[in-house]
Structure 1
Amino acid sequence: MAAAVDTGGAAIVVKGVDVWAGDSPLILDVNWSVMPNERWAIHGTNGCGKSTLLRAISAAANGDGGGRLADGGQLVVSSSLRLGMLEQTAVSGADTTVREEVVSRMERYQAAKAALDSAVESCVLGTDEELECLEAAQSEYAAAGGYEIEARISKVLQGLGFETEEFDAPCSSFSGGWQMRIGLARLLLSEPESLRRAHTTLLIMDEPTNHLDAAARRWLGDYVGAYQGTVLVVSHDAEFLRRASNSIAEVAGGRLELYKSVTYDKFLEEREERQARVRATVEAQERERKRMQDFIDRMGAKASKATQAKDRQGKLERLAKQQAAAKALLIGQQRRPSLTLAAPPPCGMTPLALAGADIRHPLGAQDIITGADLAVAKGMRLILRGPNGAGKSTILKALAGSLRLGEGQRVADERLELGVFAQDLAQELPQDVVAFEYVSQTVRRTDGTVTDERCRAVMGALGLVGDKAARSIGDLSGGEKARVALATFCLTPCNVLLLDEPTNHLDVDAIAALLDAIGKYNGALVVVSHDRAFCEAIDATHVGYVADGKVLV
């Protein structure tokens, strides 16, 4: 293991580091110092390397991958920092109870509790040795905060909106938004109060607002904005970043651009100023290129000017590389994703409906929705709204036919062709399958006429080109996985689309491409989303409200 490196008071030091995914460079020559108590947001498009950089820093913080790197770069995290990380997937699929999950990473508490339980069990005869062992175990349990743990659990969980009776419910019985809150509670409870007061924590969060409603996003943004520690967060949520961050690091053109000690809005202003300078540089380079090319064209054939023309040719080649590097920094020059949804096949006037349906979560003990009457008409654009946990995603699953109804029925037109894009679909993809193979094989189950060229064209339009299309899905970023799912979605002809939090894991450009495709789509659409701007842009024909076990359209 590399020897300890002095960070000079910084929490994190990155010097000359290249960030790669397989054989593909993502971010080159990263030079970045993060000081204690700074709150940095890492901004950029899907697949640009944000999450990969976070994982590298996390690995260094855990003592795996720090010190001097093979390429001569250096990534060092101060040994005084204690790492806490909120992953994109939170506690998805966990079978533990909420109470068990939120204390699962309190290592000292868990060890002290196990030692105390053992000491109590071993204290049979009350000998001096047994009592001394019990007293030592009780002292360590107290030092680990064991006697205050229930109060801390209640404070954090109730603060995040959980009812006391839900503390012992399985995590898997909660919707994605509530699972994200469980993950956040686990992170907060894993951090001792003494460490928080000492400002020696490093909080790393990757897309923490996925699945959260507007109120929860505001709460989390305010919490992170007041956090007494060092923060690195990846998010595409502008409002969250306004509340949570005080510095911005943007990945653009394969480089990390730093905007230190600025608000999100000031970052936007400064970025535009930098972009103006880059545009001026590109324009000057283009004028110089034309001037040199003109000289070469005029003088290249003359023997007396051949040496000068050859020299200009060498300079022109070097200038071309400089131009390419400068253009890569221009946001307008970066490749934008584009989407086209397959034309909807013919169907009846009401291709899908629920009639008198009682619906419950598959792991729940009682119905979430009762007596639901919901008809999805041809060409309808329906947005379902309501608080987290009200049953919006559950209604979509009932419409999709993946939930058995207690009462009532699901009525589907014989020509129904249904497409479902679920909030966790990107995580449910087969991780060991190559992205292109998954898209082509999945699409051909529905339409055997789709060619490899068509699949590559759609994936390429979403930015999944070259090496990205040839990687295993598990090696892609969260945003790239979402684009793999989107490519499959776009290539499959459907007359009804069910979209459950479709903007999760997607950057601004990908969301814009999805909205453009939806705008040209003539089939029926049912959407659940906490993204207000996305919902407003859908141009809905109907809005349904889900609350108190009912759905009203």
Structure 2
Amino acid sequence: MITLKNVTLRRSAKVLLDKVSVTINPGEKVGLVGRNGAGKSTLFALFTGVLHEDSGDFSRPAQWQLAQVEQNMPETEESATDFVLGGDTRLASLRELLVQAENSGDGMAIAHAYTDLADAGEHDAVPRAQALILGLGFKTSELESPVNSFSGGWRMRLQLARALMCPSDLLLLDEPTNHLDLDALVWLEAWLKRYQGTLIVISHDREFLDAVTDVTLHIENQGITRYGGNYSAFETLRSQQLELQQSAFSKQQDKIAHLQKFIDRFKAKASKAKQAQSRVKALERMEKIAPVLADADFTFEFKEPANLPNPMLAISDGVFGYKSEDEGDKVIVRGVNRSVLAGQRIGILGANGQGKSTLVKTIAGDIPLLAGTITQGKGLSIGYFAQQELDVLRPADNPLEHMTRLAREVGPAAREQELRNFLGTFNFSGDMVRQAVGTMSGGEKARLVLAMMVWQRPNLLLMDEPTNHLDLATREALSMALNEFEGTVMLVSHDRHLLRAVCDEFWLVGRGVVAPFDGDLDDYQKYLLDESKRLREQAKLDRTAALVQPVVVAAPRQQDAQHRQQVGARLKPLRKELEQADKRMAQLTQEKAALEARLAGKLAPAALAEDGKLLKAANDELARLEERWLALSGEIESIETTA
């Protein structure tokens, strides 16, 4: 287990954790929460050995294998598959031992190396790596693409896949959802639920924390408090504790006042001096209960729009995509005929790569419409928060310079003091208005972008993943501001809490079209799982076709019958097992559906427990079979291509 006993941690002269004691047991899935700057990342640095305790005792089992997501941007021409495969450090070290054994010609060492490699999962390592890559949203055609060919966000997904590939006893994840779409997020949740080791995760996504954690550690006021349960349970328990603390504080204050009144009244009287002195000592011995200090919550609001055109805009026969002089236009979505009305709250859903951001970018005017028309209502004013918006800020300029330029070039005009006051409402006060943006955190930059949007007084908000760098308090403030906004909102987000709180209708971008989605986010999650299954089955068909092709077309005419029989003999049991796996996976899917239907009804406690165990067993077996299916497919493909 991981233990901290009276541990103090500092960053420079600042004490972040003061004499904290906490235990994390093997196999627990822990959510680490607290305001930005409270010390979450510093605690991670202690867990990894980058930092050491300033005082107290910290320990974690020496034999535990640690895995974490590297924060540096990978720069390599390795393929995506090879890069993720490199995350399996045990496999990499065993391969090196095999090379050394082969170079030395030591037959016994070579035999041991092959045995160890087999135990480490060498036979299905590539399919396992590729399953992680595909689960995080990559396409099959990208598995062999160089890492350097991907954008920054996609490279960070590969870093995440590489960490998941590492066989670990302790997995540390710091904001793993920041670069993920909702479909990849759903897949990651399912993967982490199956993870057998100890998980500690920092996240500002409350639904993600609810899904994957069973313990919450809350860092506040240089201390750590452990709560049993996920984030929602933590919120409930903490509010109850604060209520009890406030009640106890009030009672103690009444008692202190009563004692002090007696002391003040009788300390001068000889007959009462002894009793007064005993009350002074009682007051000194009393362990003071601290008052509940409410956090200074961050709030803001969008200004009332100057006007509300209706409709805001209308799209007729719209074709969305990207222009390319070399390869021709790349069409992603076509035939769009939609209107956006005043006051609508639209959540834009869709699996990764289907065109959500392309749709929003085109409406915002960042990229041109390939065909059709977008007619804007008279007086339309768009406020656009893009995923890369933080990169557009000028690193050398400070918030005041950004606002001064915005007021001068876009309006409305304002004096410096007015701009300073406005920035203060977004927690940029004092010297912070003169701090270079390049030295600020992601959350501070995001607040500045929000401030600049609010200043422009838009009537249509286009928001593409606005929460990536926001902490829980700021996300809540954004949710409240969007709910009170009188204009129209179009929102792309993987934060399901924000989508649930803000949106009352959804558009689904998928398979080249944009259509209304008839359902809620739970229905959409089922849609994603069905879509993932459809793509998996399509990939299976494509792979089977590729496996058959070399035998029918590519095999040399001169190949003798004996060789074909040998290859066939090797393939027959593998194909039979593959077929059996397919049948069992279909059977398990039906069993799961039946169990989930029963669990949704009213059951006796014993039956509920039994069905719960059966459902877990079905899920575990299905996961094992899916991995085995990938391994078998890879083995068959290897035999066919080398035959």
TM-score, normalised relative to structure 2: 0.63
Contact 2:183 2:351 in 1 (8 A): no
Partner of 2:353 in structure 1?
389
Amino acid of the structure 2 residue aligned with 1:13:
L
Contact 1:90 1:179 in 2 (8 A): no
Partner of 1:65 in structure 2?
51
Deviation at 1:370, TM superposition (A): 2.1
Question: Any idea what the Cα deviations from partners look like across 1:511-553, whole Å, max 9, x if unmatched?
Answer: 332232223323332112344443343354x542211111135
Pick from 7, 11, 19: which aligns with 1:16? 7
- Structure 2 portions without partners, runs of 5+: 517-643
Distance in 2 (CA, whole Å) between partners of 1:209 and 1:272 is 27
Pick from 53, 65, 87: which aligns with 1:82? 65
Matched, 1:516 2:492: no
Partner of 1:123 in structure 2?
none
Contact 1:178 1:388 in 2 (8 A): no
Contact 2:214 2:230 in 1 (8 A): yes
Pick from 437, 455, 458: which aligns with 1:491? 455
Distance in 1 (CA, whole Å) between partners of 2:450 and 2:74 is 21
Q: 1:326 to 1:97 in 2, by over 3 A?
A: farther
Pick from 16, 20, 23: which aligns with 1:33? 23
Deviation at 1:279, TM superposition (A): 1.3
Pick from 366, 369, 384: which aligns with 2:330? 366
Distance in 1 (CA, whole Å) between partners of 2:457 and 2:340 is 18
Q: CA RMSD in A?
A: 5.2
Amino acid of the structure 2 residue aligned with 1:515:
S
Amino acid of the structure 1 residue aligned with 2:507:
G
Distance in 1 (CA, whole Å) between partners of 2:350 and 2:87 is 32
Question: Any idea what the Cα deviations from partners look like across 1:81-138, whole Å, max 9, x if unmatched?
Answer: 3332237x89799997533542354567668889999x9xxxxxxxxx9785999999
Deviation at 1:447, TM superposition (A): 3.3
Question: Any idea what the Cα deviations from partners look like across 1:126-181, whole Å, max 9, x if unmatched?
Answer: xxx97859999999798487665423323433555655323135679889997775
Matched residue SS, 2:217: strand
Partner of 1:278 in structure 2?
245
Pick from 182, 195, 212: which aligns with 1:244? 212
Amino acid of the structure 2 residue aligned with 1:327:
V
Pick from 504, 510, 514: which aligns with 2:468? 504
Contact 1:498 1:526 in 2 (8 A): yes
Distance in 1 (CA, whole Å) between partners of 2:76 and 2:392 is 14
Amino acid of the structure 2 residue aligned with 1:334:
D
In our comparison, the structure showing a higher alpha carbon Rg is 2
Distance in 2 (CA, whole Å) between partners of 1:402 and 1:337 is 31
Q: 1:15 to 1:29 in 2, by over 3 A?
A: closer
Matched residue SS, 1:368: strand
Where is the helix percentage greater, Structure 1 or Structure 2? Answer: 2
Partner of 1:125 in structure 2?
none
Q: 1:38 to 1:520 in 2, by over 3 A?
A: closer
Distance in 2 (CA, whole Å) between partners of 1:290 and 1:452 is 49
Deviation at 1:272, TM superposition (A): 4.0
Distance in 1 (CA, whole Å) between partners of 2:249 and 2:380 is 52
Output aligned runs, 1:406-421, within 5 Å: 406-408=370-372, 416-421=380-385
Distance in 1 (CA, whole Å) between partners of 2:404 and 2:97 is 53
Matched, 1:43 2:11: no
Amino acid of the structure 1 residue aligned with 2:144:
D
Output aligned runs, 1:185-264, within 5 Å: 185-189=161-165, 191-192=166-167, 196=168, 201-210=169-178, 212=180, 216-259=184-227, 262=229
Distance in 2 (CA, whole Å) between partners of 1:42 and 1:84 is 17
Distance in 1 (CA, whole Å) between partners of 2:309 and 2:268 is 72
Q: 1:51 to 1:398 in 2, by over 3 A?
A: farther
Contact 1:223 1:244 in 2 (8 A): no
Amino acid of the structure 2 residue aligned with 1:65:
L
Matched residue SS, 1:537: helix
Partner of 1:400 in structure 2?
364
Matched residue SS, 2:330: coil
TM-score, normalised relative to structure 1: 0.72
Q: 1:232 to 1:549 in 2, by over 3 A?
A: same
Deviation at 1:394, TM superposition (A): 1.8
Deviation at 1:213, TM superposition (A): 5.6
Question: Any idea what the Cα deviations from partners look like across 1:431-483, whole Å, max 9, x if unmatched?
Answer: 6765x446645644533744555555555545556687776656655544433
- Kindly tell me the number of residue pairs found equivalent between the two proteins: 509
Contact 2:322 2:370 in 1 (8 A): no
Distance in 2 (CA, whole Å) between partners of 1:359 and 1:140 is 54
Partner of 2:128 in structure 1?
152
Matched, 1:336 2:297: yes
Deviation at 1:235, TM superposition (A): 2.3
Q: 1:112 to 1:79 in 2, by over 3 A?
A: closer
Matched residue SS, 1:367: strand
Distance in 2 (CA, whole Å) between partners of 1:406 and 1:135 is 65
